[in-house]
Structure 1
Amino acid sequence: MATAKIKTDDGPCCPICLEQFNMPRQLPCAHTFCEKCLQSHITTEAAKHKKLSYFKCPVCRNSASPAIKDRPTSEWTTLFPVNTVLKSMLPAKSKVDRLCDACYTEGTTAQAEGFCVVCKESMCGDCLKVHRKQKISKDHTILSVEELNCNPENVMKLAEEGFTCSEHHGEDIRYYCTNHSVPCCCTCFFDTHKSCSKVIDLKKDLAALLCDSSSEQIIADMKKIELHLKRFLEINEACVNSLEPQVERLTNQIREVRQKINSALDELETLVKIEGNQIYKEEVLRKQDENHQCLSLMHSVRNSHYLLETVNKYGSNLQKFLMAKTMRSQLHFYCTLVGKKYEKTNTLTVTVQFSPMIQSILSISVSDLGKVVTTTRSNTLPLTCSQRPTKDHQIEKVDVIDLKVHSGMTSLFSGVMFLPGDRVMLAEYYNKQCILLSSSYQFITSHTLTGSPSNICVLDDQEVAVSLYNRNKIQILTVLGDIIRPVRMITTKYNCNGIAAAGKGEMVVNGYYGKHKSQWSLINTRGDVKCTHQYDSPDYYWLNFNYIAVNNMKTRVYVSVCNMNSLLCFDMDGKTLFTYHPDNLRGPMGIAVDRYDNIYILGKDSNNLHQLSSDGSVQQVVNTGVPIGPRAICIHQSKDILIITNTSEKKKLHIYQLK
């Protein structure tokens, strides 16, 4: 059995059904879907929630809500605009006839015959007659449906004055806020962005801005991503197709050996056929699922650059600028997703591992002969996009939480971490406790540990791991509702300071090893050590922990070396990739990684926060608004909220928003 060849060259397609668009509807994030596909997605989301006020885009997961929120969810799809640009690019045989907007609002359906460029509404023949008789609309420009379906240039003329605001229905875009990287109408400007320092009047400054917002590189990068995803699909397809002959080759190999070992090898051949075919079937299903997700993203990328190419060719300068800004945001998302999920694909190889017992023919059973073994080889696909997944944030302080815990006692929060459900857990050093806070940072409960916790990490939806300072132990806890319970204790061969989740039931821990050496290890949640790597570190002194973090793909390990004023980056094999050692970083402590793989490291003695890209280059150094002696840090991956603890105000949490 071989997988069907995947078609990837069919023009604009819906990322959900992977077919040509049928009435394409566009969300505020600019991703487009078939009307029925989008409505099915909304209906599924509505079934999960009693009261749905918004839903997530199936591609980028950005929130989307209809302009009229009190309408039932069954009508939400019709409240999103038709992507007339993509619709005009479809082959003639796949065009979907327009419906009259006026008749539709009255609960009836009629085929549209024309489109009013001024009113931006489709109309049937009867409505067109009335429209032309009205004094206020008799001079409006009317385009036929055939002209719209066949000519992208006509489609772009429908909004000659610019795109309309996604927040305020029908209002044209007039400004662009550079502070928040969003276009806005006059209402947006006065309600939200009036106090922003960098708001551009698009009617006055558009020509100059257009020169700095070229679409060519964005289109080129999106095409590279599409080729990258296509290569991913090709390797997966080749992997699946190669497994069947491998299984057959194993069968022939067994038949040759059977000439010397008869009855036992008959059983082994059967086993190989069963297990090999089972492995093949499982891999086919796995690769087909991967291919469908990859193909969905590839179509979405293609739709984006098709849309940008069309706007760039036929649109006004304002449309080109706004669409380029929108697509640059999409490009960040595509690069991030490709970097996380599609940077490599695995090729499965099936072999038979024969036992030395095959030399003997006495008392041989199937288990004595051997077993089927699979090995996975990673195929790294180089992505040469000009913009790697990275984003420099504006870091804005929003609150300081004064926790009312341990009244009259000294506290030190040496670790902090977001839990599922937006709750927060703190590692409290002096009082040897883990403290659970609500999503609004209110005290819920605490659990007393057998030693002082140095750091904490989240393993899954229920389990957390806490490293115990100077005890050579890691405590595994479960958090069920408002109850914290100990599960098991892991003993290590050296004192553990930093700890971070490494995915798939694994974590990395680090600490001082002795003789001017520290080390970090990859261990599973049962305490089995997968690998250990040492690095130089001066003599350890009291409470100067070396923190540790892992990137989103679990391929890089970051370690702060407090006594050397350095941040070290390793791959999972222990190879040093880069060292960050600037003069303005002193006493580095807590480390966190955001969803764009940016690295954040606190300078305890330099009282600052350093933001680095994934390759170690500096994006910014925040010196103001950082608490004195910052110590531990964590980042909410979906809400871009950052929490910092410090040594000078030991009972306070400093809350920041990444913008």
Structure 2
Amino acid sequence: MVYRKALECKRTLKETQITSCALDKESKPTDEALIGIAKSIERSVKDDRFLGVINISKQGADTSIPNMCMLSDGSFCLAQFSDSQIIKIDDNLKLSDTFTTKSNVWGICAISEREIAFTMPKLMKVQFLVFDTNPVLKSSFCTNMHCRGIAYCNDNMYVAGGGFLGEESGQINIFDLKGKLLYRFENYSDGPFVNIPRSVIANTKYIYITDCQNGVICLDLHGKRHWVLKNAKCEYPWGICFTPNANILIAGHKSNNISVVSEDGELLGELLDKNDGISVTEGCQH
């Protein structure tokens, strides 16, 4: 679901009623679950933030969007895990392109105006893709781990992975754009570095990881813990992204919400919750 005006928390919401025309006819939900969500939105969202539901699932199909990213032109790229696809949505929220990947895709991030990178955990691979007239595969590199979350910053690739049963230990690896391993953050003297990392973002000072067992973890660029947030209001954290105000949005998979966290690790409030029509939240993007 797509909202405008990414307000920082629920206490700032306006008290104006949305109208039924907020739902785009072409993206109007067709199955019972999405219709229920739409009704919940119309009852609960009290301002004009809600734009509509983009129905990308096949009838009766299991659709999972573990991550997404936004390009500079305002379009979105969604990682559709179950169908092994990259789905591109234009700035008018219309389906503009799809690309079928060689394996299930999990993490996704923007590299430039038209280029993205995505992870394929089963292949232990990061793949680059350019949206030209048609989507074109570029280079790739092997991560030697079951890679999931991915972020691009400082001309480096930050890749989170491992931790599930039968896999290597949870870890954060930093690569250059050619796939050379620069750093690996895996274990501290007092125990594992991360248990089951889901997503990762980074800026010029810190790396932020969602770990479904340990909460939200902030590290400096050398791997030293800066803070850890574990809170019932942000249960089983999954998706993560920055806001323009330097805060962080966290998708709580089990708490069914989008929480707002400061760059210092303070839980500021909830942006959205199940009363706004969201549930089992995975990816999020500002």
Partner of 2:75: 423
Partner of 2:219: 570
Measure how far apart 1:413 and its partner are: 1.6
- Select which of 118, 130, 134 maps to 1:478: 130
Partner of 1:632: 283
Partner of 2:146: 495
CA separation of 1:515/1:526 partners in 2, compared to 1, >3 Å: closer, same or farther? closer
In structure 1, distance between residues paired with 2:100 and 2:154: 27
Q: Deviations over 1:483-509 (max 9, x none)?
A: 2110122111211010011133x2200
Unpaired stretches in structure 2, ≥5 consecutive residues: 1-10, 18-45
In structure 1, distance between residues paired with 2:202 and 2:123: 23
2:115 is equivalent to residue 469 of structure 1: no
Q: Determine if contact 1:607/1:626 at 8 Å carries over to the other structure.
A: no
Task: In structure 1, give the amino acid aligned to 2:128.
Answer: I
Q: Determine if contact 1:397/1:625 at 8 Å carries over to the other structure.
A: no
Partner of 2:157: 507
Q: Which has the larger radius of gyration?
A: 1
CA separation of 1:521/1:395 partners in 2, compared to 1, >3 Å: closer, same or farther? farther
Partner of 1:452: 104
Task: In structure 2, give the amino acid aligned to 1:453.
Answer: V
In structure 1, distance between residues paired with 2:241 and 2:212: 16
In structure 2, distance between residues paired with 1:583 and 1:405: 30
Q: TM-score, normalised by structure 1?
A: 0.34
Measure how far apart 1:461 and its partner are: 1.6
- Select which of 249, 268, 271 maps to 1:619: 268
RMSD, aligned CA: 2.7
In structure 1, distance between residues paired with 2:218 and 2:111: 22
Unpaired stretches in structure 1, ≥5 consecutive residues: 1-177, 181-192, 197-393, 636-659
Task: In structure 2, give the amino acid aligned to 1:492.
Answer: T
In structure 2, distance between residues paired with 1:549 and 1:410: 27
Measure how far apart 1:516 and its partner are: 8.0
In structure 2, distance between residues paired with 1:456 and 1:534: 22
**Runs of 4+ with >3 A deviation:** 193-196, 394-397, 404-410, 513-517
In structure 1, distance between residues paired with 2:219 and 2:179: 22
Measure how far apart 1:442 and its partner are: 0.9
In structure 2, distance between residues paired with 1:579 and 1:195: 37
Secondary structure, counterpart of 1:441 in structure 2: coil
2:243 is equivalent to residue 594 of structure 1: yes
Partner of 1:84: none
Measure how far apart 1:406 and its partner are: 4.0
2:201 is equivalent to residue 549 of structure 1: yes
Measure how far apart 1:515 and its partner are: 8.1
In structure 2, distance between residues paired with 1:516 and 1:509: 14
2:82 is equivalent to residue 433 of structure 1: no
Secondary structure, counterpart of 1:470 in structure 2: helix
In structure 2, distance between residues paired with 1:595 and 1:582: 24
Q: TM-score, normalised by structure 2?
A: 0.76
Q: Deviations over 1:398-421 (max 9, x none)?
A: 133232554564322222111121
Secondary structure, counterpart of 2:139 in structure 1: strand
Q: Determine if contact 1:558/1:570 at 8 Å carries over to the other structure.
A: yes
- Select which of 520, 526, 538 maps to 2:172: 520
Q: Determine if contact 2:16/2:47 at 8 Å carries over to the other structure.
A: no
Task: In structure 1, give the amino acid aligned to 2:161.
Answer: G
Secondary structure, counterpart of 1:584 in structure 2: helix
Identity of aligned residues (%): 19
Task: In structure 2, give the amino acid aligned to 1:591.
Answer: I
Q: Deviations over 1:288-323 (max 9, x none)?
A: xxxxxxxxxxxxxxxxxxxxxxxxxxxxxxxxxxxx
CA separation of 1:396/1:526 partners in 2, compared to 1, >3 Å: closer, same or farther? farther
In structure 2, distance between residues paired with 1:563 and 1:194: 36
Higher RCO structure, 1 or 2 (CA under 8 Å, sep 6+): 2
Partner of 2:229: 580
